[in-house]
Amino acid sequence: MSEQPSHSQNVSTPSVSNPQKRKKLLLIVAIIFILAIAVYAAWIVFFNRTEDTDNAYVGADTAQISAMVGGQVAQVLTQDTAYVRAGDILVKVDDRDAQIAVTQAQADLTKVKRQFGQTQANSGALNSQIQATDDAIQSQKAQLERARADVAKAQSDFKRREALNASGAISKEEYATSLNAFNTAKANLGVAEAGFQQALSNQKVAQSNLEANNALIKGTTQDSTPDVLVAQAKLDQAKLNLERTIVRAPVDGIVTNRNVQIGQVIAVGQSLMIVVPIHQMYVDANFKESQLTRVKVGQNVKLTSDLYGSDVVYHGKVIGFSGGTGAAFALIPAQNATGNWIKVVQRLPVRIALDPKELTQHPLRVGLSMNATVELQ
């Protein structure tokens, strides 16, 4: 009976110590959790100076080569994967029609210049014509004065014979002759007046023609008259179209997507090929929205490619941010206003410029994968 109390004491001891152990464990866990948060905060503030992503791809502002004139392709002087320099001939279009157009435009320009010279010569002829009408007017004026004098004389003779005829002093034949002479004089006066008015009208017509002719060439020379300028513009356009029958590379780069063949008839604006400027490339790095808090324009970026591996490091700079996420500009944007909506972390393209010298040493191609690390300074 004396051993029972000691047994009861042994049984009750573990029940008292277990809560104390739990408190100690919880305290230790809490301390560890607080330390982890502190370490993480310290790492974020003092040690996390970069943001990186492997969702990055090489891009370039490619040159789309299109036909500026239509016609049949005579020669294709390049192929896919070929490296070309700015100014190299890529395609030649049959230029015979263009040469004919140039010849026709040149002939039209020569014709218009000759017409301008003819117009200038017409001014001199019209001046001479006006002077001739002055002489004609003076001649018609003299004839008019003469006709008026003849009418006055015939009228006086007729009145005198009319008085004598009333008294029977002259014969009827003489009276009739006097009357006819008076009527003839009046008719001649009418003809003279008409001739004088015609001479005045001819002078006015000549003066109008001279003014109209001078209006065509007033203030201009043979090279500045409107008709010559229009003809010159057509000739320049024809020469430009002739030059455009030779398609040249606008930039240095690699030819891709060539879709033109010899003998093919092409139309204006038709795509012929693409030239990728491999020395002027950039990288679009798609960072998570939570990574962009401290990413700024002008920050340095280190990049590696899957093509060369980590041994080749490219150096670039952040030059801008896209105006929206990839989902925002997708062909079929996400419809988030639904009942089964699930939040997805979005990514925003960040444009990174690459060093042309490094691209020359280790060329890249459009679409290759890159790893980008932005230095947050």
pLDDT tens-digit map of 128-160? 777 777 777 788 888 888 888 888 888 888 787
Check whether 57 has a pLDDT greater than 90.
yes
pLDDT value of position 195 = 83
pLDDT value of position 320 = 95
pLDDT value of position 205 = 79
Pair 133, 140: CB distance under 8 Å: no
- What CATH code would you report for 64-93+245-275? 2.40.50.100
b/e burial code for range 39-51 (CB count within 10 A of at least 16 → b): eeeeeeeeeeeeb
What homologous superfamily does CATH list for 49-61+277-375?
A: Efflux pump adaptor protein, beta barrel domain (2.40.30.170)
Check whether 341 has a pLDDT greater than 80.
no
Say what the pTM is: 0.64
Banded model confidence at residue 250, pLDDT cuts 50, 70, 90: very high
pLDDT value of position 111 = 92
Pair 372, 303: CB distance under 8 Å: yes
Per-residue pLDDT of 281-332, as tens digits, reads 999 999 999 899 889 999 999 999 999 999 999 999 999 999 998 888 877 7
Beta strands in the chain (DSSP E): 50-60, 63-66, 71-76, 83-84, 89-93, 246-248, 253-256, 265-266, 271-276, 281-288, 300-305, 309-321, 347-354, 369-375
Average pLDDT score over residue span 83-104: 96
pLDDT value of position 197 = 85
pLDDT value of position 302 = 95
- What CATH code would you report for 98-239? 1.10.287.620
The full set of domain ranges for the chain reads 49-61+277-375, 64-93+245-275, 98-239
Per-residue pLDDT of 206-223, as tens digits, reads 777 767 767 666 767 767
Q: Which range has highest mean pLDDT (118-127, 195-204, 249-258, 333-342)?
A: 249-258
Check whether 2 has a pLDDT greater than 50.
no
Length of the chain: 377
